[in-house]
Structure formats: structure tokens, C-alpha cells
Structure 1
Amino acid sequence: MTGNYGNQRNRKNVLTNRHHFEVEVFNTVLDMQISEFGNRFNEVSTTLIENMSGLNPCESFSKFDTSKIVTFSEMYPNDFSNSERGCLLGDLTVFYHTVKEDDKFKNLGGMTDLARAMVETGTHKTFPLVYRVLKLALVLPVATTTVERCFSKMKLIKTDLRNRMGEEYLNNALLCAVEKESFLKVKEEDVMARFQAFKNRRGNIF
């Protein structure tokens, strides 16, 4: 009886620990990740990325979606006139049938390869509207990453203890934080020489 009771108790502890790690801990971490993704990628960014995926040339343009591409162009009203947007759908259809059977457009790894292939074959001149959409899609990740990086750095710099920080000081601090790679190339001697030249000092800081 004692042995059976001990086995049941150990089995209960195993189930309790398993429930703790697989349910409680896992669900908590999953909720945190979902919340973080929600904060990082808002609805507008998600819609942009989803529609941008219509330009994917992988697997012989099997994921090429003209409706998504047209919707993507509509999110840039200053880059396309109404007449250009009306012509875009027809250009995309002709472009799709033109490059699908072209050996130079096979085995492309992504939109960067597609843009490179269009320039090499001169297709960017034949389909300028399609190439314009492609350029906007290629610029989007860079712009989104830069903005997200700035907001992330701002949260680290402007804390509760620094909530009275002035705008000029905040801009300078953000510049140093965001462009850290560039500032690492600046020599300490150059910085000291600049501060030394600001005004006459009692001693040399070198």
C-alpha cells in the first residue's frame, strides 16, 4: 500500500509539474509574444506586409496576386494617379504572363531578385508601373525597421526618471542610440578636440 501511495504521489507531482510548464508557463509566454507582436506590428503595417506578399516571385510566381498588389498601390495615393492605378491591373496581368514563361525569371529567391531581373532584361522600362510598386515594396521593410528601432530606443532613453527631458536633448540622445554603429567609428581624440575648442579651459582634456 505504501508503495502504491508513493507511486500515485509521484505521478501526481509529475502531472502537476507538466501542467505547470506546458500550460501555465507556455500560455504565459505565448500571450506575451502575441502581445509584443501586436504592439510591434499594428493593423496598417500588417496590411501593408500582407498585400506586399502578392509580389512574391518564388515557385514560378505561384504566389503572385494581382489583387493584393493593386490594394498595396492604393495605400500610396501620392505615388499613383487615378489613371495609373486603373492601368496597373492590366499591366500586372500582362507582366505575369510575360515573365512566367521566361527562363530569366525562373528560380527567383524574392522581390530583390525580381527587381534585379527586371533591370537586367529591361522589363522595368516595359512595365514602369509594376516596377514602381516593386520599389515601394522593397523600401517598406527598411522604413518600418527604422521607425520601430527609433520607438524601441525611445522607450529605453525616456524613462519615468527622465520624463522631463527636453526635446533637443532627447533628439541628440536618440541620434546617438539609433546611429550607434556610425558613432563607434568616431575617434575619442576627435570628440575631445571638439569639446576643447568650444571655449577656453583651465586645463587640456587630452
Structure 2
Amino acid sequence: RQDLIDIKNKKQQARDYFNLAEDKKVLLVLGGSLGARRVNQLIAKELVNFTSQNVQVIWQCGKLYFDEYQRYNDNENVQVMSFIDRMDLVYAVADIVISRAGASSVSELCIVGKPVIFIPSPNVAEDHQTKNAKAIVDKGGALMVKEGELDTKFTEIFNNLLNDGNQQKSLSENIEKLAKVNATKDIVDEIVKLIKRQ
């Protein structure tokens, strides 16, 4: 994902592209391409909390759920999308990200270095999303709320993060340290080394 490496100078372009106000924070919600029912239910419930704190929401609800959730689109503070075609721009403009913790999402979020609250899917083999998220959380690079704890813990964790610039900065710096920008090249180099040894 070469386009994600240099997003820091795309913020204004991103604001124009998504028609966002400059004086409001931007929350990006990623539920995966198909969508995540529990994440979508949470966001619908939390919208008033978000918008009352001057937060604009870009909510990728997934194609399975778009018909159900598009009614929350208000074009001013909430943009509901089934799919986001310019991930480079949406990452550039996001102040906080809420995301599942699949391998590709985690690796992208490490590269873009944004404060993240992971909500791992419990419905995957060997609970690997929780393991992915925990690996980042243990290094101080993200926050995690399990699905079973969303109703009791999410609001407080989100509000604390939104209002704590130091925590945002710390999470960003720590998750960025975990980025494997040249992962593909490194793998190829290792393969070449192994071949040469034979």
C-alpha cells in the first residue's frame, strides 16, 4: 500500500474530497468490506455522543448493511458509506479510527499511525483478531474493546481518548513504530537468500 506511506500532506485534499469542516475532529469507522453488525449497532447508538462533541463521522458500514444504515447520513456530520475508494485520503483526515482487527487492517493502521480503538471480531478462527489487537495494545499502540464489553466500556474509553491529545499522540507514535512498510520486499529478500544457500 504505497499510497498510505505519505498521507501527512494530503489532509486538505482529504477535507475537500469528503467535504469536511476544518474545526471538527474526524472519526473513521471501519467494519470491513462486508460490514460488522455489532460495530454498526454500536455506532448508531453512539452517534449523538459523537456529534454532540463536534465530531464528524465517516462510517464505512459495509455493503451488507448499507441499506439499513444509510438513513443516518446527514451530510453534515455523518457520512455513511458501503465502501471507501480513497483509503489514503480517509486515513489522512482521520483523527481517531475504530476498526476490526483483521491482519490487513492492522498492517494499514500501523503504516498510517492513527489513534485506534480496535473492536476485534470474535467470530473468526482461533480468535485471531483479538490476538492481533492485543499485540498492538501490549506495545502501547492502540486501545481495544471486546464486543462483550462495548455497552459498558466503549463510551468512556472513546470520550477519554477524544479529549486527551497526549494519549492520541502516544498511541500514534507507538503504532507507527510497528509498521512493516517494506514487508513484501523483506519477504522476497529472505526467499532469495534461502534460494542462494541451496
TM-score normalised by length of structure 1:
0.25
More strand by percentage: 2
More helix by percentage: 1
TM-score normalised by length of structure 2:
0.26
**Largest Rg, 1 or 2:** 1
